[in-house]
């Protein structure tokens, strides 16, 4: 973190703005909206800036900057095209322990102006630490479309009722649950529809209802986190991640995705590797139920999709048996992600009219599969958790009639910057794996569609280069 995001209360505070052009005017607009009293100093001051400053009770000084102008100021902005003046303002301000911003000179700034989404009193600030202001503005533009204008009114109303809510609900958990229900329920809908009076009446009614001393049963959110790329999360997954009290997450959930969960949530790692389970599955099932019965909102975050070899069904059976409510949010499964990000369509009219997802590890730790069914032509077979049994898989497929030259792709860490793709055939892939070792999570794709990899690979130029090197070595 290059800068600590803070919000200044500048109402009635004296600020110095050095510069009199268009850039200075833009900074003056922000300062004026924050309620600051602005002193502008510059040999020349444009007319619009002058009107803005005088109408807001500020002071205009047509002349050169002097260090004495810093007296009794709480914040300084330099917006000139003179590097000598900018350097002097920075030196004088830091010498007086005053926060200073020199426009377009991050090295001379002790604070920076973020790109702002203004839904006062709700404010969202986006910053690149001065490294890419244009990117920050583009992100702000996207946020502008996602944050409705009524959020400001909703925030104002919440402020008016905050004291009453605190008096009624004695615990932080109760207050948080009330506010989340208010912000996402019919009260917010009234505000959206332009009926703030009805929204306030509904708030009053909600606060007059009796509060039970018994803790309510919580809920479990079984959420698919996808293959690793945070941008592949669904909107619903992200919303539930932001409101859960406790997060139980797997080994295959990337740190970037875990970081998107609510900051103050309790996080419990329950990842499993082959022959190394941090928490046995039965204990995970019971832990989910116990936490929810304590009244907590519990996020069960699983890599990929929770219902595709994710044992999500086993967990929900336990919850259903104990009367715990739950929701399920699908995620992008590894087969879809790895195939898409490696340029291998799972189906294609010329090569495969069906696809099968197979686990390479059964409950009894065998791979006793229906091999005759898996060697039919014109289909794609995707093996999950099959890397350690790759030799067995290839041997069995060949033994049951699949041609030795059938293409095979191994995709490690699909959709992430660490993605690697190894291409071979049922006959050659094991030797290639010895030459270029991969590690779990690695998906195995078998079928003619693998031939499209070289033509359709698109993800990550560095990955493409690595793959090209691998294919060159193959040739």
Residues labelled as active-site residues: 250, 272
Residue with tokens 């992600």: 337
Rounded distance between C-alpha atoms, residue 262 and residue 326, angstroms? 19
Rounded distance between C-alpha atoms, residue 262 and residue 270, angstroms? 18
Among residues 123, 189, 129, 132, the alpha carbon closest in space to that of 1 is found at 129
Residue 470 burial (C-beta neighbours within 10 Å; 0-12, 13-18, 19+): middle
8 Å CB contact between 380 and 352: yes
Give the DSSP H or E segment for 123: strand 122-126
Rounded distance between C-alpha atoms, residue 216 and residue 267, angstroms? 21
The count of residues in the chain is 475
8 Å CB contact between 421 and 467: yes
**Phi and psi at residue 124, to the nearest 5°:** -125, 125
Give the DSSP H or E segment for 450: none
| DSSP-assigned letter for residue 113 | P
Residue 321: CB atoms within 10 Å: 10
Contacts of 339 (CB under 8 A, 6+ apart): 345, 346, 382, 411, 445, 449
Beta strand 115-119 with 272-273 is unpaired
Contacts of 100 (CB under 8 A, 6+ apart): 75, 76, 77, 78, 89, 90, 93, 94, 108, 109, 110, 111
Q: Identify the bridge partners of residue 126 per DSSP, sorted by sequence position.
A: 115
8 Å CB contact between 15 and 40: no
Residue 465 burial (C-beta neighbours within 10 Å; 0-12, 13-18, 19+): exposed
For 8, 38, 78, 304, 309, the CA distances from 35, given in Å and listed in that order, are: 11, 9, 19, 49, 57
Among residues 358, 237, 360, the alpha carbon closest in space to that of 302 is found at 237
Tokens of 360: 């390479």
Query: End-to-end distance of the chain based on CA atoms, in angstroms?
Result: 46
**Phi and psi at residue 13, to the nearest 5°:** -95, 145
Report helix angle 196-208 to 150-168, nearest 10.
20
């Amino acid at each position: 973190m290059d800068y600590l995001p803070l919000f200044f209360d500048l109402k009635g505070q004296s600020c110095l703005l050095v510069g009199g052009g268009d850039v200075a005017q833009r900074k003056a607009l922000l300062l004026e909206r924050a309620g600051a009293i602005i002193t502008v100093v510059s040999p020349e001051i444009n007319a619009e800036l002058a009107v803005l400053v005088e109408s807001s009770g500020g002071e205009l000084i047509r002349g050169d900057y002097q260090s004495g102008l810093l007296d009794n100021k709480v914040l300084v902005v330099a917006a000139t095209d003179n590097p000598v003046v900018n350097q002097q303002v920075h030196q004088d301000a830091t010498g007086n322990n005053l926060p200073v911003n020199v426009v377009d000179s991050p090295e001379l700034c002790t604070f920076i102006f973020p790109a702002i989404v203004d839904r006062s009193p709700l404010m969202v600030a986006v910053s690149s630490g001065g490294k890419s202001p244009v990117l920050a503005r583009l992100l702000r533009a996207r946020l502008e479309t996602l944050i409705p204008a009524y959020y400001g009114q909703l925030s104002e109303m919440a402020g008016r009722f905050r004291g009453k809510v605190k008096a009624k609900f004695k615990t932080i958990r109760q207050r948080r649950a009330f506010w989340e229900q208010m912000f996402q329920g019919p009260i917010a809908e009234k505000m959206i529809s332009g009926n703030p009076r009805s929204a306030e009446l509904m708030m009053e009614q909600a606060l007059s209802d009796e509060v039970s001393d018994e803790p309510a049963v919580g809920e479990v959110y079984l959420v698919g986190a996808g293959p690793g790329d945070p941008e592949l999360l669904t909107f619903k997954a992200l919303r539930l991640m932001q409101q859960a009290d406790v997060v139980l997450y797997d080994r295959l959930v990337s740190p970037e995705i875990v970081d998107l969960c609510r900051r103050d949530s309790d996080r419990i790692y329950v990842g499993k590797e082959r022959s190394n389970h941090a928490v046995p599955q039965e204990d995970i099932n019971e832990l989910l139920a116990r936490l929810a019965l304590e009244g907590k909102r519990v996020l069960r975050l699983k890599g990929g999709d929770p219902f595709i070899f994710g044992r999500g069904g086993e967990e929900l059976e336990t919850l259903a048996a104990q009367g715990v409510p739950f929701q399920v949010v699908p995620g992008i499964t590894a087969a879809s992600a790895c195939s898409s990000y490696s340029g291998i369509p799972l189906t294609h009219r010329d090569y495969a009219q069906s696809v099968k997802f197979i686990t390479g590890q059964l409950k009894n730790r065998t791979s006793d599969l229906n091999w005759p069914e898996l060697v039919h032509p014109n289909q794609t077979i995707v093996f999950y958790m099959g890397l350690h049994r790759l030799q067995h898989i290839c041997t069995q497929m060949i033994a049951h009639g699949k041609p030795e030259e059938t293409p095979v792709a191994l995709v490690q860490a699909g959709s992430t910057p660490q993605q690697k793709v190894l291409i071979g055939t049922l006959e050659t892939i094991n030797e290639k794996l010895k030459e270029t070792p991969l590690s779990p999570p690695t998906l195995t794709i078998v079928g003619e569609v693998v031939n499209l990899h070289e033509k359709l690979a698109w993800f990550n130029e560095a990955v493409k280069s690595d793959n090209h090197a691998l294919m060159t070595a193959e040739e």
